[in-house]
Structure 1
Amino acid sequence: MGHIQDRWYKEVPDPERTPKKIRVPTVLHGKGMRYKVRYIDPDGQERSKSYPDKKLKDARAFLAKVETDKLTGDYIDPEAGKTTLREYCDNWLKGQSQDESSQRTMRSKLEKQVYPCLGARSLSTIGAATIRDWLSWMNGKNISESHKSQVFNLLSAVLSAAADEKKIRTNPCKTKGVKKPVPDKRKITPWTEGRLRKMQLALPSRQFVVIPLGSGLGLRQGEILGLSPDDIDRHQMTVHVDRQLAYVGNRPLFKLPKGRKTRTVPISRGLLEVIDDYLEAHPPVTITLPWGKTTGDPVSVRLLIVNDAGGVDPGDAFHRRHWLPTFTRAGLTYVPGNDGMHALRHFYASTLLAQGVTIKELADYLGHTDPGFTLRTYTHLLPSSHEQARRAVDSVFKPRRPEKVVSGPGTA
């Protein structure tokens, strides 16, 4: 049990009434804090906290709370919260994915959107009001709601870890008084086949196969640029999606697909013919790059797509040099947020759903870990089951009369 020391007074034997004791001033009387709460923390270390004169009640309340928190497991070391957010984040990042591009992305978000307001603050001083002020600061910047949501989730993950480690009592991002940024919600509008064909015809010959790979296999940009003809199993008529081409800064490397999730995707005969025709004109080029990180072991892959110099383009360079100019050549207007290479995956998803492929199967083909995410993304593209429901009921209650043709809007 802890105790409270009165630094201004001490008890000594009463010379006139043994064994009674009397209080007498110490040499510290009237100097500094009067009361010092002393206690042993759960790690066996002696701790203390001082209070001024006339604050004995506060000192007793503090000691009672410390002892209660020790019993319930809620004890927080007062010194732990003195670590700055930046210092804690540096340590926290060591326990996250060590993928270089992931680390770079997280550090960039912290440096640009978190540290300017909160980096120098100690953890114990970051409360709900501080988080609201930070959100207000972000609202004054040219930052999309989706990006603000990502940054908020990153900071919340950091503070949840701090709470788990008893650096702070609770995560202020999760209090009722803090409103979490809501990402922009927009329904995906898949390309028409006509738009897809125009883009395919307008792409340079060397990059022509990008369109069928994205729209026919549902590959992400890095997966398209990292695909090899050796990934195609012609016996099983499948494609093994085992790698992507990625960049850390301007340094290219091969690594596992997003989420470190490899997958197998069925390939159609028609698409295989398109790839074979492309290979006749543009044989694969062997590219050797490090695996997993810029200092990783070198891996050689025969790539389908390379640039005119026989090398590889970063994703942003491919977008700038090849993708954007194709819209102009095709006579199309580029729509930001809708016309990136991800539009090819959306086209693939809409095509498969229209043909009755299940959400679970589509999630597997797209490399989504959670089919629920696939459903939330593409639910508005699911074909109506009304006619199937009518046919199912008609199989029990078979209609006897000919079907009537109902005239109305749109009929002639």
Structure 2
Amino acid sequence: MANKKGHRRFGSVRQRKSGRWQARYIGPDGLVHVAPHTFPGKRDAEQWLSVVEAEIIRGDWMNPELGRVPFSEFGANWIRQRKVSQRTREEHASVWRNHIEPFLGRFRVNEVTPEIIRAWRADLLDKGRSEDRTAKAYRLARSMFATAVDDGRIKRNPCRIKGADQHRTPERPHASVDEVYRLADVVPGRYRFLVLLAAFSGLRWGELIALRRRDIDRKTMIVRVARRVAQLKDGEMSIGPTKSAAGVRTVALPKFLAEDLTHHLAEFAEGGRDGLLFVGKRGGVLRRGNFHRETGWTKTVVKAGLPKGFHFHDLRHTGNQMAAEAGATTRELMQRMGQSSVRAALIYQHATSVRDQQIADELNARVERHRQGASEEDDGPEEGTAGVLAPVG
């Protein structure tokens, strides 16, 4: 806006040698800020200054210098400063290095638009990246830009593609009770209870191998999950916190596991209250590779009557599926699984054939009781005779 002498009250504009116009102003921080680009005409530059002035008046102004940091630098710092486990940091670094930084790293933080995000995601899929990997990359980039919003570097998160954070995961197989016990019967004895506990508790591999004697109460048959073991890329076994805060939990075990637990504690677990519940043949923290070699997993699952591609993690799916079929609510499944969001729990809430049959049987029983009651009323006392209406039970 200009005063009577023709000078602007806020900011200033000047014409460059190129013929284009430049706008600058003094921000709330007392520093001079220049528009990120020049304008074709004087009026265009003045209009831009009017928008900036309005933002300052409303309290919406953002220091443009904060958003001019290269995204390659911002993303690398984000990973380094994030408070996560070492295993998660390695996973983030891998996704960043292979799927995000090569495309988005050449932009400044405030230059990335929804259009650029759409082009980046399409590029990943065109290059043959799986939906799973692409969704992981999108979620990580979205989290980075969310931090940029919180830091006052940008106003809105450019990651706004509906459904891009999700992917269709092929439904994994799960075992029946008979198949679980057949598998437990054919693995080496020291791993029998590991198979049973994985199937009937739904615990993750890393949570299982981190369990200690003191984490299981034999009287109440309750297991306390307080930590997990993660194998890093250099082979180091890192003992740390659970995958999320929701992972710290207690899980009630079925009583029929008591006998196998007692035998396992006596024969295979480390001694002392702090002794590991599961150890390898040579002692120490159980490694997944050693477990697969010692059990001959690929052939063993087939011998137990399970599909060739059945993974140990599918025992967790089995436990969650059984809990859902037993009538667990979404909230109860979340607690049992150690999940902080409902998305994973809802996977097991779809109508299963077992649960669906239970619903049909209950509907059948209700209708039969109703029809039986109606029939008894029709066959009641004739007119003129005394009768007593039986209470509906």
Question: Which of 108, 128, 141 lines up with 1:122 in the alignment?
Answer: 108
* Equivalence for 1:238: 222
Distance 1:111 1:207 in 2: 38
Distance 2:371 2:304 in 1: 53
* Equivalence for 1:383: 355
Query: In structure 2, do the counterparts of structure 1 residues 43 and 334 end up closer, same or farther at CA, with 3 Å as the change threshold?
Result: farther
Distance 2:37 2:329 in 1: 67
Query: In structure 2, do the counterparts of structure 1 residues 196 and 235 end up closer, same or farther at CA, with 3 Å as the change threshold?
Result: closer
Distance 1:179 1:370 in 2: 16
* Equivalence for 1:105: 91
SS in 2 for 1:245: strand
TM-superposition CA deviations, 1:314-341 (whole Å, max 9, x none): 3455446643353355465422xxx222
Q: How does 1:219-298 map to 2 (within 5 A)?
A: 219-249=203-233, 250-260=235-245, 261-284=247-270
State the shift of 1:127 in Å. Answer: 1.9
Distance 1:50 1:355 in 2: 61
Q: 390-399 or 155-164, which moves further after superposition?
A: 390-399
Consecutive unaligned residues in structure 1, runs of 5 or more: 8-29, 287-299, 403-412
**Aligned partner letter, 1:258:** K
Query: In structure 2, do the counterparts of structure 1 residues 95 and 51 end up closer, same or farther at CA, with 3 Å as the change threshold?
Result: closer
State the shift of 1:179 in Å. Answer: 6.8
The alignment covers a number of residue pairs equal to 362
Are the equivalent residues in 1 in contact too, given 2:21–2:39 (CA < 8 A)?
Answer: yes
Are the equivalent residues in 2 in contact too, given 1:34–1:50 (CA < 8 A)?
Answer: no
Distance 2:37 2:283 in 1: 73
Are the equivalent residues in 1 in contact too, given 2:320–2:348 (CA < 8 A)?
Answer: no
SS in 1 for 2:133: helix
TM-superposition CA deviations, 1:232-272 (whole Å, max 9, x none): 21333312222222223321132232213321122233201
Q: Which runs of 4+ in 1 moved over 6 A?
A: 50-54
Query: In structure 2, do the counterparts of structure 1 residues 59 and 369 end up closer, same or farther at CA, with 3 Å as the change threshold?
Result: closer
SS in 2 for 1:303: coil
State the shift of 1:283 in Å. Answer: 3.9
TM-superposition CA deviations, 1:155-189 (whole Å, max 9, x none): 112122223333234322216xx772640144454
* Equivalence for 1:353: 324
* Equivalence for 1:344: 315
What TM-score do the two structures reach when normalised by structure 1?
A: 0.76
Give the CA RMSD over aligned residues.
Answer: 3.1
TM-superposition CA deviations, 1:13-68 (whole Å, max 9, x none): xxxxxxxxxxxxxxxxx856775533111222122349879722222122112112
What TM-score do the two structures reach when normalised by structure 2?
A: 0.80
State the shift of 1:113 in Å. Answer: 0.8
**Aligned partner letter, 2:167:** P
Query: In structure 2, do the counterparts of structure 1 residues 285 and 325 end up closer, same or farther at CA, with 3 Å as the change threshold?
Result: farther
* Equivalence for 1:301: 274
* Equivalence for 2:125: 139
Are the equivalent residues in 1 in contact too, given 2:23–2:35 (CA < 8 A)?
Answer: yes
Query: In structure 2, do the counterparts of structure 1 residues 372 and 54 end up closer, same or farther at CA, with 3 Å as the change threshold?
Result: closer
Distance 1:52 1:229 in 2: 69
**Aligned partner letter, 1:207:** Y
**Aligned partner letter, 1:388:** E
Query: In structure 2, do the counterparts of structure 1 residues 71 and 351 end up closer, same or farther at CA, with 3 Å as the change threshold?
Result: same
Consecutive unaligned residues in structure 2, runs of 5 or more: 1-8, 377-393
Tell me which protein shows more helix as a share of its residues. 2
Q: How does 1:79-98 map to 2 (within 5 A)?
A: 79-94=65-80, 96-98=82-84
Q: 51-60 or 150-159, which moves further after superposition?
A: 51-60
Distance 2:275 2:39 in 1: 79
State the shift of 1:229 in Å. Answer: 2.5
State the shift of 1:70 in Å. Answer: 1.6
SS in 2 for 1:307: coil
SS in 1 for 2:63: coil
State the identity %.
24
